[in-house]
């Protein structure tokens, strides 16, 4: 139970605080802005960390991404030659042969996922909408953390013979099948009809994630077996009549089929994508093997592509972790600044309380002459400093939460205000008030009552 003496000291401290409202507010400003800065900083840091974790989920864990590069670097067959002797080296491009080579020769891989992405359109009931047709294998959905909302996954038979089936994104269902169950229905993608066998769960992707990771809106994609795309739509690994006709460089790694015509005019023709695959994702079993595996894959592909670097390799998880480390460093800097604000606020409390002791020497002497003990004087001034810091902490918490909300709305930056950040900042504020209130309290209690009563 709290004694009456302590309650009396608390009441006297409250009277002193409310008797000087303006001074109390000015004294608490350092605590207010310090606490607000801590909460807002932690909210921005937590939001950035959550966004990075969501981005890692989007690209998958321990993944290596191989992307083809259509434009090749021109190299001379004869280093001393120029003009007509300049040609591009031949490369078969990124193909399924590369996938099989990586699968059988590189250890420590958990999964591989080749992809072919075609720009197409969807037609149903007179409604036409542009979309992407993505040829994949079942491993793709596991690597990208996709879940089926309803329906079934591609079977071995679908994959083997390239059956005209598909799995659609949630946005496709909303736009074309808003009033009916799409499972078992058909939808026209490009020139072919595909039977819908599954619907994916909706993926919430921020515009920031799309911009940073170069990913697309998966909810508007139509997924079909890889062999279906190669058999029914397009196989860029095949030599077609259009490539041979007219002698144009149709992207076969710069290999020129000249059947008359001017070579300089042919070189001016636009380079066509000759890669059979548009993307290859490799998942490594151990995180520490990411960089080494990526280097081995790079060397292997360079050798298979006859020393033509027509691909690029990315490790999204390492890039995101580096970004997270940068954010953490930035948060530490902000935390240090906020800590300095709290320190300055504590010093301000100590200075004001010391000044208050000088102003109230007569009051202290009067209380001590009426029977107050040194502990009573200490408690009185400690209560005052703690009340200033606690009230400043409460106002700071409100401002900090408000700042976090304003930043999220205006700057479009995700913020997450956690209970731990509020408890931490409020606890620090109360501790600062206690720590910096001890010296003034002891100074007040050390006054001689007789001298204090004579003080002018």
Alpha-carbon span 394 to 339, nearest angstrom: 17
Alpha-carbon span 433 to 436, nearest angstrom: 5
Q: Report the pLDDT value the prediction gives residue 255, as an integer from 0 to 100.
A: 40
- Count of beta carbons in the 10 Å neighbourhood of residue 90: 16
Q: Report the pLDDT value the prediction gives residue 268, as an integer from 0 to 100.
A: 42
Q: Report the pLDDT value the prediction gives residue 43, as an integer from 0 to 100.
A: 84
Q: Report the pLDDT value the prediction gives residue 429, as an integer from 0 to 100.
A: 79
Q: Report the pLDDT value the prediction gives residue 208, as an integer from 0 to 100.
A: 57
Q: What is the DSSP track for 189-222? A: ETTEEEEEEEEEPP----HHHHHHH----GGGEE
Sign of CA dihedral 210, 216, 219, 223: negative
* CA distances from residue 131 to 128, 163, 214 in whole angstroms, order as listed: 10, 20, 17
Burial tier of 314 (Cβ tally within 10 Å: 0-12, 13-18, 19+): middle
238 Ramachandran zone, left/alpha/beta (phi>0; psi -120 to 50): beta
Cβ–Cβ under 8 Å, residues 433 and 388: yes
For residue 85, the 8-state DSSP code is G
Residues of the chain with pLDDT under 70: 1-2, 9, 52-61, 71-88, 205-216, 240-271, 317-327, 334-335, 338, 358-360, 445, 447-456
Alpha helices in 144-192 (DSSP H): 156-161, 170-176
Tell how far CA 102 is from the center of its chain: 30
Q: Report the pLDDT value the prediction gives residue 17, as an integer from 0 to 100.
A: 72
Q: Report the pLDDT value the prediction gives residue 265, as an integer from 0 to 100.
A: 44
Q: At what angle do helices 419-445 and 316-359 cross, to 10 degrees?
A: 30
Q: Report the pLDDT value the prediction gives residue 451, as an integer from 0 to 100.
A: 65
Bridge partners of residue 148, in order along the sequence: 200
Q: At what angle do helices 21-59 and 4-19 cross, to 10 degrees?
A: 90
- Enter the tokens of residue 64: 């290596």
Dihedral through CA 209, CA 214, CA 215, CA 217, nearest 10?
80
Q: Report the pLDDT value the prediction gives residue 324, as an integer from 0 to 100.
A: 65
Q: Report the pLDDT value the prediction gives residue 71, as an integer from 0 to 100.
A: 64
Alpha-carbon span 100 to 91, nearest angstrom: 17
Cβ–Cβ under 8 Å, residues 40 and 304: no
């Amino acid at each position: 139970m709290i004694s009456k003496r302590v309650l009396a000291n608390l009441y006297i401290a409250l009277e002193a605080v409310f008797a000087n409202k303006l001074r109390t507010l000015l004294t608490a400003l350092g605590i207010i802005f310090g606490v607000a800065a801590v909460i807002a900083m932690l909210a921005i840091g937590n939001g950035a960390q959550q966004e990075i974790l969501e981005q890692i989920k989007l690209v998958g864990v321990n993944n290596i991404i191989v992307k083809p590069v259509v434009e090749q670097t021109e190299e001379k067959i004869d280093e001393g030659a120029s003009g007509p002797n300049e040609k591009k080296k031949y490369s078969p491009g990124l193909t399924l042969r590369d996938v099989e080579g990586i699968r059988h020769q590189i250890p420590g891989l958990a999964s591989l996922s080749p992809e072919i992405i075609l720009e197409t359109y969807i037609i149903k009931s007179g409604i036409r909408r542009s979309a992407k047709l993505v040829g994949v294998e079942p491993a793709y959905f596991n690597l990208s953390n996709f879940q089926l909302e309803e329906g079934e996954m591609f079977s071995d038979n679908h994959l083997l013979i390239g059956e005209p089936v598909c799995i659609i994104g949630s946005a496709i269902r909303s736009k074309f099948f808003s009033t009916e169950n799409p499972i078992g229905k058909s939808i026209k993608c490009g020139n072919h009809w595909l039977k819908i066998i599954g619907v994916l769960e909706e993926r919430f992707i921020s515009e920031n994630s799309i911009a940073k990771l170069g990913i697309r809106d998966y909810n508007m994609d139509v997924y079909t077996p890889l062999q279906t795309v190669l058999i029914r739509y397009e196989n860029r690994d095949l030599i077609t009549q259009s490539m041979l006709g007219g002698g144009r460089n149709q992207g076969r790694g710069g290999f020129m089929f000249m059947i008359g015509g001017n070579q300089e005019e042919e070189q001016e023709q636009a380079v066509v994508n000759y890669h059979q695959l548009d993307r290859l994702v490799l998942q490594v079993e151990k995180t520490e093997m990411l960089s080494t595996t990526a280097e081995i894959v790079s060397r292997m592909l360079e050798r298979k592509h006859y020393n033509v670097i027509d691909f690029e390799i990315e490790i999204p998880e390492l890039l995101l972790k580096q970004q997270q480390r940068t954010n953490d460093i930035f948060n530490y800097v902000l935390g240090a600044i906020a800590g300095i604000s709290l320190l300055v606020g504590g010093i301000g409390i100590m200075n004001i309380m010391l000044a208050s002791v000088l102003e109230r020497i007569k009051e202290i002497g009067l209380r001590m002459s009426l029977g107050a003990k040194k502990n009573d004087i200490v408690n009185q001034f400690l209560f005052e400093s703690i009340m200033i810091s606690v009230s400043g902490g409460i106002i700071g918490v409100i401002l900090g939460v408000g700042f976090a909300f304003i930043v999220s709305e205006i700057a479009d930056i995700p913020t997450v205000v956690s209970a731990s950040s509020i408890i931490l900042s409020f606890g620090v504020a109360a501790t600062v008030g206690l720590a910096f209130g001890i010296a003034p309290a002891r100074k007040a209690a050390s006054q001689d009552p007789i001298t204090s009563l004579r003080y002018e």
